[in-house]
Amino acid sequence: MKTLKTLTALAFTGALSLTAGAATAEKLRIGVSYPTPTHAWAAGMNWHAEQAEKRLEALYPDIDLILVNSPDPSAQASALEDLVSVHKIDALVVLPFESEPLTDPVLNVKNTGARITVVDRGLSQPGIEDIYVAGNNPEMGRVSAVYMKSRLEAGDNIVILRGIPTLIDNERFDAFMAEIDGSGINVLDHKHANWNRDDGFEVMQDFLSRFPDIDAVWAQDDDIAIGVVAALKQAGRDGDGMFVVGGAGMKETIKSIMDGDELVPVDVLYPPSMIATAMDVTVASFKSNGPVAGRYILGATLITQDNAKSFYFPDSPF
């Protein structure tokens, strides 16, 4: 009899502790996985992810965001496994290193029942992600071309400095050329400057020696634009209404646009803060009373002196 009583008591305590366990497990765990920042844009992304983590965890005490960065695709695949087995995540926000090698690892996370948000680089199989957040590469090229057309006339000459030969670069370039086509603006030549200041400087020096008459430069990227500006100033060809259009949204560029720089009067946004957008949307998918799943393609906003302030983050490394 006494033993039975003890057993019941034990069972009761057990049940109680189980409920207690369940209560703590109700905290929502969201894993955030992205490449280790090795260049300025990615460093900006890392900073924005950390800011969003602080902000969202302060806003929702029952949400736990776990940030992990990985130096290469296979390390990222292992990191995803750890997020499932160690942290038992309910949702995953992932910016894949490469599409192909990470499609299966992300699919495995989905099979555990977690919600999937993919950022910027799509997976190679459709239908895995519940939410997709990305910048708009073709739109970035198109917006740049529209601005060029607004400043130039038929017969004016431009040169283009492209990025690293990749799909991203092709999408931007093709959309730019499609928009500029038929406007009468001559594209003298386009060369790869690899999203790099030094290459931007050297390619622009050569363009300047080669073409005596250039009216504007599409540098596509803020780093390239810095090299281009240095080359223009060296050759003393930074006057006469010459202008350079970059892209991405580097804080130094945004600052000089705010200050009314005439050589780099605008910038086209391709924001590293998109990771924060993705984290917000993922949290909203648990908290909002409206439907959230779907594709979010961010605008390639034209940043001018008027709206630059809202894109300026002086503490971010980018």
Q: Binding residues for other proteins, per CB under 8 A?
A: 37-40, 42-44, 46, 162, 165, 189-192, 196-198, 201-203, 205-210, 223, 226-227, 230, 234-235, 252, 317-318
Report how far apart, in Å, the C-alpha atoms of 95 and of each of 32, 33, 274 are.
8, 6, 10
Tokens 């959309």 found at: 175
Whichever of 69 and 301 has its CB closer to other proteins, that residue is 69
Instruction: Identify the H or E element spanning 302.
Output: strand 302-303
CB of 267 to other proteins, least distance (A): 16
Whichever of 30 and 250 has its CB closer to other proteins, that residue is 250
Whichever of 89 and 208 has its CB closer to other proteins, that residue is 208
Under 8 Å between Cβ of 306 and 259: no
Under 8 Å between Cβ of 197 and 223: yes
Please give the Cα distance from 278 to 122 (Å, whole number). 13
CB of 22 to other proteins, least distance (A): 40
Whichever of 165 and 184 has its CB closer to other proteins, that residue is 165
Whichever of 88 and 210 has its CB closer to other proteins, that residue is 210
Please give the Cα distance from 271 to 49 (Å, whole number). 12
CB of 263 to other proteins, least distance (A): 15
CB of 206 to other proteins, least distance (A): 4
Residue 59 class from Cβ within 10 Å (0-12 exposed, 13-18 middle, 19+ buried)?
exposed
Please give the Cα distance from 29 to 190 (Å, whole number). 47
CB of 58 to other proteins, least distance (A): 24
Please give the Cα distance from 224 to 194 (Å, whole number). 8
CB of 187 to other proteins, least distance (A): 11
CB of 229 to other proteins, least distance (A): 9
Whichever of 43 and 177 has its CB closer to other proteins, that residue is 43
Instruction: Identify the H or E element spanning 79.
Output: helix 73-85
Whichever of 105 and 141 has its CB closer to other proteins, that residue is 141
Please give the Cα distance from 282 to 28 (Å, whole number). 11
CA angle 241, 198, 142 (to 5 degrees): 50
Whichever of 54 and 210 has its CB closer to other proteins, that residue is 210
CB of 143 to other proteins, least distance (A): 23
Q: Hey, what are 158's tokens?
A: 């431009």
Under 8 Å between Cβ of 268 and 143: yes
